[in-house]
Each structure stands twice: as structure tokens, then as C-alpha cells.
Amino acid sequence: MPHKIDKRLRAEQFRHRLIRALKDSGLSQSALARDTGVDRSTISQLLNDEGARLPNAHVVGACASVLGVSADWLLSLSERPESAAELMASSLSLSEAPRALVDQRIFDWHREAAGYKIRHVPAALPDMLKTRALLEWEYAPHLGRTADQAIGASEDRLSWMRQSQSDYEIAMPIYELESFAHATGYYSGLPLEIRLEQLDQFERLTTQLYPRLRIYLFDAKRLFSSPLTIFGPLLCVFYAGSHYIAFRDLERIETFTTHFDHLIREADITARQVSGRLRALKAAISNQSPPQP
């Protein structure tokens, strides 16, 4: 239930907060009266009257707008003086997402969250677990002559991420791994040797790095998630193709953390079972013949 404030106390808090906001703004009472379109006597009364009366909504809103604070804060309905627009701007950011390996922004987010648990739903297979051969197959067409340099730099960053003190939980749909193993859909044309090498690396890393690295596979017929990464309690980032959408307010981070934890609880294949599924996939494709020209 909302906390009820006595009318006299609310009026007193309004006066104190108005005085504080006026002082912080550097404006005089006359300037505030002029900019709000309110009589100077009314402003003086608001700043000095110790009664229980509050001004009307127009006066509160005008004062809040001129002084750069929120009306809710002046009325003790919020403890944050920033306006709703300012709060949203500080808690949400939009930045470009280049078609590149672990760009500087992503790497900075990982470094900022070092030591916290990082929860990740990748757009495809997680880059930090890929072999060099798969990275070249996937990124060389987009990076052109700089592919080798970019992949080399990216490998250094991925190595740092693997060796950091963060725990990583990765949730992904089962079909993504199945599609990769059988070279269908996005992975059409991927050579068998690259797939086998990658499955070997997945199995090795999920065994060597457990429990700091845990991968869960869920059924996309029952569950869905957009690509996202939750950097502990600090940040939640959605991948929207051409841009990242990042949230820093705790309420949204907790909401999406709950969503991620639901994926983990409902996963069809747990972190302990992933190695077995990887071995089964390798066995299933090991005897495949290369496609006929």
C-alpha cells in the first residue's frame, strides 16, 4: 500500500523541496515567477507559508518544468527529483550493433560486470565458444580483408571473457544446436569438419569450465526469448539486429532476470546433460557423406 503523508507534512515537504530546487537552479524568486507565469506574491507565499495548503496542479507543474525537477518529487510522491523523461534517458540507451565480433561496447559491458553472473540468450551460437574455423566461415564474408585481424583481436577478448571471474549461464533453443549440427537453415553449406570440430570444442568447454559455464537447451515450441544478455544487477541488453537496447533500472533488470531463470527451470536439457547431447549429435553426423555437386 502507498505510504500516506499528513497534509501538513506534505505541504512542509513541498516548501522545502521548492526552496532546494530554486537554490539549485540559481534563479531568483522574481525569475521563477516570470518564467512560470505565476504572481510573485504567490511564489513568495509558496516559499514562506507554513500552512497546510498546496498549490494547484498548474502551479506545481509550472514550477517543476522551470526548475527541471519532477512534480512527483515536489509533492513527495517520488524520491527522485529527475523528470520521467530524464529517468528514462538515464536508464535506457540505444546504440548501434555492428556486424562484428565482440565489438568494443560488448567487451566494455563484460568488463564492467566482471565478477557478476552473466546470463545470455545468444542470437545464434554464442561467439565466445566458437572455433576460429567457424568464426571465419561466419564473419569473413562481412569483414572482407580485415577478417583475420578482427578474428585475432576477438579471440583475445573471448579468452578474457572465459577467464574472468564471472559465471556464465547460457540458454538457447534446442533447434539452434540441431540446425548447426545438420547444416540446415542459417548453417546451410557449413562443412562437416568445421561442425565436428565445433561440437568437440563445445563438449570440451562445457566440461572444463563447469560450473562457471552452464548451458541449457529449451524447446522453442514451449518457450521463447529474444536475444539478450543480463550483466548481473547492472545492465540488461537486448539485441535488436541493427541496435542494442540497454536497460539499467533495477526493476527491468529483475523482470528479465526472472524471465531468464524461467528458461533455465523449464529447460529440456540441463547443463549436466548438454555434453551427452553433443556426443549424440557428433555420432549422428560423423558418417554423413559430403553433398554431391
* pLDDT score, position 87: 45
The answer to whether 150 and 143 have CB atoms below 8 angstroms apart is: yes
* pLDDT score, position 242: 87
* pLDDT score, position 1: 42
Residues forming beta bridges with residue 93, ordered by sequence position: 246
Nearest to 216 by CA among 168, 280, 268: 268
CB atoms within 10 A of CB 202: 24
Where do the DSSP E strands lie in the chain? 92-96, 118-121, 168-173, 213-218, 228-231, 235-239, 243-247
Nearest to 172 by CA among 229, 118, 225: 225
DSSP string, 155-187: HHHHHHHHHSS--EEEEEEHHHHHHHHTT-GGG
pTM, entire model: 0.70
The answer to whether 217 and 269 have CB atoms below 8 angstroms apart is: yes
Residues forming beta bridges with residue 245, ordered by sequence position: 94, 238
> What confidence tens digit (pLDDT) does each residue in 279-291 have?
999 999 997 655 4
* pLDDT score, position 172: 97
First and final C-alpha spacing in the chain: 71
* pLDDT score, position 3: 54
The answer to whether 221 and 178 have CB atoms below 8 angstroms apart is: no
CA distance 132 to 117: 26
* pLDDT score, position 272: 95
CA 64 to chain centre: 31
> Which value, to the nearest 10 degrees, does the dihedral of the CA atoms of residues 261, 263, 265, 270 take?
-120
Residues forming beta bridges with residue 247, ordered by sequence position: 92, 236
Residue ranges for the chain with pLDDT beneath 50: 1-2, 84, 87-88, 291-293
